[in-house]
Structure formats: structure tokens, C-alpha cells
Structure 1
């Protein structure tokens, strides 16, 4: 069973190919402009390097956003074009959820049972406008689990900073706050200047999304069947219902008004 995962939601394009739970190959390329000129070439290279064929892929996992409007559309359009009429299972992943889980996976090994942890996922939409959501790690007898505690939103970086400061001053002082996402990398100087010891930031190499996280979520059976907060985060869909989730209207849609 081959599983292919893909994102072009931000400037960093990510592709990975797995056979069951074994990584066969991955590609990460940061683009200055658009992914459309190189993404098919990257997919072709991934298949050649791993010695696999497109027809062997059974599961396709793709990011539906939020992020760059063009980038989100590119990934979805490409997988629809490549796998139209083929017998594959389609799965969609919200990029904010995936970032939350990426942070969780990075922390999981070192978590103590009594630790109180909150993770903010922050995706840059330029000029300090960001896509944001928050998650908490809950400790249970069998294992730790991650739950969405603040729904997806479009906001300003200053609003998130103010929220964290306010929460720290009103009851979350014992909670460890972690930040993840490309917005953290892009605005790190300001974040550290405003928040200082209030937050912890993952290493630069772990801030941007990695499609290996998508596959790990899939292998962990974090499958979402509804839209309730905290109810898993990989949703099975089909080629016709696979659609972007921008969180906001595009410039063209706003201009119509």
C-alpha cells in the first residue's frame, strides 16, 4: 500500500511517499513565487527516485489550507488531475491541525504526565495577518492526546500576542505555550520581543509543515468524521468533494462586493 502526501499551502512545497509506515522518499522545496511551474516535475522525480509508479498509489493525503490561495488550489488541482478515474482513497488535512500535531509529535517523547501544554499553530498570510488555531495536550491513563481548543480564525499577529499575555495573567501561568508555523519563523523577532519567556518556539527546522506529519496522523488513525472541535483531523473525502478551505474570501470575491 503506497500513501502519497502533498502540500503547496505555503512557500514550502512538500511531497512524501510511504509504503505502509515506511518512508520511501520526500521532497521539500521553497519557492519564491508559484509552485505551478515545478510541482509536476517534483512528483515525477519522487516517483523515479523511489522506483514507484503513479498507479501503485492507493492513498492520497492533501492539505486543503488555509494558506496561500494560489498554493492551496495548486495542490488540490494537481491531485485531482493526476488521480482522476483512478481507484484511490482521498484524505484532506487542515494545515493548522497538521501543525498542531507536528508540535505534539515533537513534544510527545519528552512529555511528563502532569505537564500542561498548549500549542498555537500560526500560518503567515503576509503583513502580520495570520491564520491561527490552538490545541491542548491532555494526559490520559492510556496515552496523551491532542485536542483543538480554539477554532480556526483569520486574525492579526498582535491579537494572538495579546491573547497569550492575557491568558498568562489570568490562569494559564502554569501552562507551557508553544508556537509553530511559518508565521513564527517570519515574525520571530517581534514574538520574542513581546512574549519573551511566556512562550517556547520549536527549532526552525520543525516550524514549517512536513508532509510526514500528515502520514503519521493517518497511520495513527486520526480520522475525522464530523466538524466537532477536537474530533480528529484527517477526513476521508472523494475527488468531487475535495475543496480548499481558505478561512476567508479571496480578493476576487471581495472585489465583487
Structure 2
């Protein structure tokens, strides 16, 4: 049956989706900050109930693996690992930026470029560059955006920017080939890529898998009282 539950919690969006053989059966999303810990399991239960399924009907769990919010990724991955272990089913990890880009690759010309990005505070973003056929052109890395960013791609085709960092880079990047899309992460795309991985038996070890935080998580000490965090 190939029934896969997908989880996306890398940014403020809390999103879950069900796919069968790569076809979307249903999706539930909450576009709110700081709700993952309270709402993720309830919307998973609601989605399964709506579809008439139980957890033991699932053949795999897929999760957005980062980069993104430390807290969001930790909650999403912990939930996915717990469900996979409890039901003795495979865990599939899907790169967060690949899933974001996959949402538009069918409408992009092969000679154009897709730049999925996630806000990393100030003018820094987590990003990579892919072509219209989802081939990776530049590797995942944090990047500080300025007016010269991506200049090497603009003369070769259109460059499609998408993700929750797009709103803050619009004033930095000015070029007629730049396209800014109001689109953020969704478990729908995670599930599409998860199906491909499932068919190739591309799973991760439930016990040892960790999300790609990209940057080390740091706790900032209070400047008023160094004893407070």
C-alpha cells in the first residue's frame, strides 16, 4: 500500500501529510509560532482519523531533517523516531531545502534555478541552489545575503527564491531574472520525496539519526544576570 506519514516542523509551520504510493491523501497544517510541542501529535491523530487509518497501517514515517529551527527539528524528529520505533517501521529523512524546492520544480524550466531558503536571523539564510531538474548546483550552507548574491546565475536564467527568508531578501536582490515566491515548507513535498526514497529503500537508522541543525545550538546568557539563561 505504501502509506507514508510525513512531518515538517523545520520552521514555524507545523505540517503533516499522508501519501499512498506518492499520491497525497490528506494534509493538515498550522501556521503559528511555537505550537509544535502541543499540536504535532493532535494533528497527526486528526489526519489519520480523517483518512480512516491507524498508526499500524503506516509503512513508513518521513521527517524533514533540516536545516531549520533547533526546537522545531528536535520535536519533529523525536516524534518521527518515536512513532517509527513503536510501530517497527522505517524512518525516512528528507532534506528540508530539497523538499521546499520540490514543490515548484515541475513549473521551472530546466535551465532556470531554484533557491530554497530558510531564515537564519539577520541577513543570513540557510540555502542551496538547484537547477530546474533538482540537481544540486551549490551545496547547503549558511549565507549572508547582499546585492551581489547569486549574480553568477542571473545571466543564465530565471532564479526562483522561495521559503520563509524571501521577504527579507527582496530589498537586497534587484535583478529582472529574480522571482520571489510566497511559498514555505510543507509536509506535502516531504512526502513526495519520501516515496522516492522508500522505493529505493533509502532509510535512516532510527536509533542514531539526528537532524541537520547546520549550526551548533547556543544558549545565550542573560547580560543582566549571568546566573540566568
TM-score by length of structure 1 reads 0.77
For residues 97 and 23 of structure 1, the distance between their equivalents in structure 2, rounded to whole angstroms, comes to 18
Match of 2:138 in 1: 150
CA deviation after TM superposition for structure 1 residue 188, in Å: 5.5
For residues 198 and 78 of structure 2, the distance between their equivalents in structure 1, rounded to whole angstroms, comes to 24
CA deviation after TM superposition for structure 1 residue 100, in Å: 2.2
- Equivalent residues, number: 220
> Deviation digits for residues 172-201 of structure 1, max 9, x if unmatched?
5132211111111x325424xx31413112
CA deviation after TM superposition for structure 1 residue 6, in Å: 0.5
Q: Does 2:101 match 1:122? A: no
For residues 195 and 83 of structure 2, the distance between their equivalents in structure 1, rounded to whole angstroms, comes to 23
SS at match of 2:72: helix
CA deviation after TM superposition for structure 1 residue 217, in Å: 2.1
Q: Does 2:176 match 1:190? A: no
> Deviation digits for residues 65-114 of structure 1, max 9, x if unmatched?
1010000000011112223242212110111121222231343xxx4xxx
More helix by share: 1
Contact kept in structure 2, 1:121 and 1:179, CA below 8 Å: yes
For 1:1-257, list aligned pairs within 5 A.
Answer: 1=1, 2-107=3-108, 111=109, 116-137=111-132, 145-158=133-146, 161-165=147-151, 167=152, 172-184=154-166, 186-187=167-168, 189-191=170-172, 194-202=173-181, 204=182, 207-220=183-196, 235-252=202-219
Highest RCO, 1 vs 2 (Cα 8 Å, sep ≥ 6): 2
Residues 247/224 of structure 1: CA separation in 2 closer, same or farther (3 Å cut): farther
Contact kept in structure 1, 2:92 and 2:197, CA below 8 Å: no
CA deviation after TM superposition for structure 1 residue 36, in Å: 0.4
SS at match of 1:121: strand
CA deviation after TM superposition for structure 1 residue 223, in Å: 7.7
SS at match of 2:38: coil
Contact kept in structure 2, 1:177 and 1:199, CA below 8 Å: yes
TM-score by length of structure 2 reads 0.86
SS at match of 2:87: coil
Contact kept in structure 1, 2:13 and 2:30, CA below 8 Å: yes
For residues 210 and 66 of structure 1, the distance between their equivalents in structure 2, rounded to whole angstroms, comes to 14
> Following superposition, which runs of at least 4 residues in structure 1 exceed 6 angstroms of deviation?
222-225
> Unpaired segments of 5 or more residues in structure 2?
222-229
Which stretch of the first structure deviates more once superposed, 18-27 or 45-54?
Answer: 18-27
SS at match of 2:203: strand
For residues 124 and 147 of structure 1, the distance between their equivalents in structure 2, rounded to whole angstroms, comes to 22
Match of 1:141 in 2: none
> Unpaired segments of 5 or more residues in structure 1?
138-144, 226-234
SS at match of 1:62: strand
Residues 64/219 of structure 1: CA separation in 2 closer, same or farther (3 Å cut): closer
Q: What is the Cα-based RMSD across aligned positions, in Å?
A: 2.4
